[in-house]
Structure 1
């Protein structure tokens, strides 16, 4: 009898393993919380909520912030630059333990789906639009045209995609929005001889490197600098240098792997699933009989491409988030349905079928959110931050900043939200730099590098949803990314040490 080959668990199983692990931590790690401060724009008062739930109103003045040892300009609260609750230094208190048992773990994914409904709807509507375009053959015609255009120069695709998304990441935190790109780009990369990992790396690592070395990203550099009591321009040049070096290293790394795959497809980490992947993404694409790129198909793809430009502008300049982005794609889906001339019944079937293809991806987002809910309900997030801040007390400056980097790698695993981690940790961590004679902007850099590094692999972030969309195993990504992760980690450490001497 043939021996069954062990398979790496699916994304759902990996997430549930992490979920159970975090639930166990709520039994082992003491529960505790910092008092939180938030500014009320209507009353122009600070609202302080203690660890025990007591609420107090304080004057919305600089004196209040100084008295609480929050070294931030009050204008940052008044103009909305800091809008989340901020942890108050030296206010940590132990509270009654609230361990998360079997029923909590059972309920958490359901609550996670409810709390992630904005991004879930975005994914489903996007799937519907893609289903409509696929039905018309527009993607297949476009892939054929692009394949002919880049023949012999396929590497340009990797460079352009990684650079453009990297720019989006460093300027306005382009991350979750990139989910929309995979169904379009995967067939293009496959048709040009690459494997899915090349596409994932170009998109995901472009975004990750961009956000890791954020320059003017309001959800990372700006909000963290505000919470640390420094301007975001402090340390900016060092992060910009890091961005240029890191994106160069990343592109070279992807190009080398892509070249190896093109020359010998068996070198692909996903070679064992090659037929299944090609069947899924290129089932209607046949090079020998390419679909005619008609005017109607060109118009549909042009409108679809324009949607991404409008979406990017909306997020960057008009305050859009998932509700507006989802509404945009829904509108575009309806417009494309009319242009296609496919009829109402076929349009609805295509739309629903496309949405159905991405249901698993949408659910993964909800389960990932469940992990954060378990931590919040078990009240261990602040405790982990409290112990982390105690670790670095009394260290020399060189060792201090490396340990801060390592701590932020750990904190980034448990708190994947960049703005959430910034406002929670900066008021606690930034003053520690004062005690070792370093500028607070170096803490901002360490926070970005640490959270950015762990985002390459953390199941609580976006990577599992990305891999599920492309049907690539977590273990395959792990094998691909670890060498690059080591290089970028070394770069981050060197940059922090240099910055500590400036």
Structure 2
């Protein structure tokens, strides 16, 4: 009997899309009214089942709608998306997603995710140009010698720096650029590709989970809950350093086991296949790092520094990030005197290498489109908010965390989750007798814990870069997730009684 093979990322997502489409036939459709602020007219617009009403943008208007958010949070731009209005849930006419919607969902997803898909393709193009120069081989050869006997520092430094990016400005989609570059470095250091993947993905996951000043989760969620974002900051800082340390130790233990005995690697059977994906590992002789190649690596590294600065300080998003990588590729082409035909060929070849990743991102977005069009997300939110009635403080805090974990499958966007749910969920804290920052923390930790394994998030796209199956990732990461769940539950329980 032929051994069954775990399905590819694309197939997993299509199966999930089919299941979501079926759910839209079972779960009742419903919607909360939403409130949006218009800076041009200084007014609020209420959307109720497609009908819009305009009201004055005053604190009294917010109070009448039972929205406990200061008016300035809207007027100064802290809340820029429509928010859910408490106690306005209504059942609406069902909109089940049939075969036609299911078939069209991947295409719609690719169109809607065009910004991140183009970013991924341009990153691939830049990598293709740098690959052709031989700079990566020279850099890896130099780094291997520099870190000889101290390779573990690579794990600590990369994981911690990525986590810092996650906790401060929500470094997530941008990490797609790091995988093709850093994973060969980990392989050259005698680890497996899973170690490099874990350092980058888990670093980002734990950083965004324990966000401290991240405007796309902590700040927008606190604003939507009607509290200052600094409320609960010290607790989140403790959680960040504690959970990041746990992740680093976990990765280090696995990495040391693999380094001592490569056969202990979860992906040992794919060793040759994975290493063949990275041309910079195929050379037998050490590539000399010339002055010209050093300049190539400098420009390449500068692209990421400029990207991170732009996102965190200049409000850049995908268009600006993509343009940065395009300019970097052109500059590198000029430095190595690459002719126009060769430049285009290598850029297209590099982009082609990440085309599969781009499709995965689009298909995952298609799953979200099915959920939204099926009008079931608000229904799940409504019934979830009812679950916490009459609970004690500790149980409330933990139940909210698990509710947010479940909701994050249907609403994977952190900012979308915050503005939709916080005006509805945060008042529940008042009835239990705990601060609203508990709900903000539950939102962050709940979404963050599920993010480690959420197939509609970035994990499948990340795994596709190194051709690692989702089943092998689960085998690696589930013990860590269990540890983090226990730590999170203890933290949430303790925080409501201190």
Determine the structure 1 residue equivalent to 2:192. 195
2:23 to 17, 22, 25: 25
Name the SS of the counterpart of 2:434 in structure 1: coil
Shift of 1:135: 0.8
Determine the structure 2 residue equivalent to 1:347. 343
Determine the structure 2 residue equivalent to 1:466. 462
Note if contact 1:187-1:282 (Cα within 8 Å) is conserved in structure 2.
no
- TM-score, with structure 2 as normaliser: 0.99
Name the SS of the counterpart of 2:419 in structure 1: helix
Name the SS of the counterpart of 1:38 in structure 2: strand
Note if contact 2:184-2:281 (Cα within 8 Å) is conserved in structure 1.
no
Residues of 2 paired with 1:345 and 1:327: CA distance?
Answer: 21
Determine the structure 2 residue equivalent to 1:49. 47
Shift of 1:395: 1.4
Shift of 1:457: 0.4
Residues of 1 paired with 2:209 and 2:69: CA distance?
Answer: 23
Residues 327-381 of structure 1 show CA distances to partners (whole Å, capped at 9, x for unaligned) of: 1101111111111112111111111000000000001000000111001100000
Residues of 1 paired with 2:289 and 2:159: CA distance?
Answer: 27
Q: What are structure 2's unaligned runs of at least 5 residues?
A: none
1:405 to 401, 404, 416: 401
2:433 to 414, 432, 437: 437
Residues of 2 paired with 1:346 and 1:186: CA distance?
Answer: 26
Runs of 4+ in 1 over 6 A off after TM superposition: none
Residues of 1 paired with 2:333 and 2:40: CA distance?
Answer: 45
Residues 386-416 of structure 1 show CA distances to partners (whole Å, capped at 9, x for unaligned) of: 0100111121222111111110110111111
- 1:12 pairs with 2:10: yes
Question: Taking structure 1 as reference, are residues 118 and 316 closer, same or farther at Cα in structure 2, changes over 3 Å only?
Answer: same
- 1:243 pairs with 2:240: yes
- 1:138 pairs with 2:148: no
Residues of 2 paired with 1:493 and 1:200: CA distance?
Answer: 27
Shift of 1:281: 1.4
Name the SS of the counterpart of 1:37 in structure 2: strand
Residues of 2 paired with 1:188 and 1:382: CA distance?
Answer: 45
Determine the structure 1 residue equivalent to 2:334. 338
Determine the structure 1 residue equivalent to 2:37. 39
Determine the structure 2 residue equivalent to 1:229. 226
Residues of 2 paired with 1:373 and 1:257: CA distance?
Answer: 38
Residues of 2 paired with 1:225 and 1:480: CA distance?
Answer: 33
Determine the structure 2 residue equivalent to 1:77. 74
What aligned pairs does 1:257-272 form with structure 2 within 5 A after superposition? 257-272=254-269
Residues of 2 paired with 1:180 and 1:141: CA distance?
Answer: 20
Residues of 2 paired with 1:351 and 1:53: CA distance?
Answer: 45
Residues of 2 paired with 1:284 and 1:486: CA distance?
Answer: 35
Shift of 1:239: 0.9
Residues of 2 paired with 1:399 and 1:279: CA distance?
Answer: 50
Shift of 1:282: 4.6
Q: What are structure 1's unaligned runs of at least 5 residues?
A: none
Question: Taking structure 1 as reference, are residues 402 and 303 closer, same or farther at Cα in structure 2, changes over 3 Å only?
Answer: same
Name the SS of the counterpart of 1:289 in structure 2: coil
Determine the structure 2 residue equivalent to 1:280. 277
Residues of 1 paired with 2:54 and 2:28: CA distance?
Answer: 28
- 1:391 pairs with 2:387: yes
Shift of 1:47: 0.4
Name the SS of the counterpart of 2:276 in structure 1: helix
2:445 to 445, 449, 472: 449
Shift of 1:314: 0.2
Residues 12-33 of structure 1 show CA distances to partners (whole Å, capped at 9, x for unaligned) of: 0110111111111100000000
Note if contact 1:129-1:329 (Cα within 8 Å) is conserved in structure 2.
yes
- 1:358 pairs with 2:354: yes
Shift of 1:284: 4.9
Name the SS of the counterpart of 2:496 in structure 1: helix
Shift of 1:196: 1.0
Determine the structure 1 residue equivalent to 2:311. 315
Determine the structure 1 residue equivalent to 2:91. 94
Determine the structure 2 residue equivalent to 1:66. 63
Shift of 1:285: 3.6
Shift of 1:74: 0.5
1:373 to 363, 366, 369: 369
Residues 54-87 of structure 1 show CA distances to partners (whole Å, capped at 9, x for unaligned) of: 1000100000000000000000000110001000
Residues of 1 paired with 2:2 and 2:289: CA distance?
Answer: 46
Determine the structure 1 residue equivalent to 2:489. 493
Residues of 1 paired with 2:390 and 2:357: CA distance?
Answer: 45
Question: Taking structure 1 as reference, are residues 302 and 319 closer, same or farther at Cα in structure 2, changes over 3 Å only?
Answer: same
Name the SS of the counterpart of 1:481 in structure 2: helix
Determine the structure 2 residue equivalent to 1:295. 291
1:212 to 191, 195, 209: 209
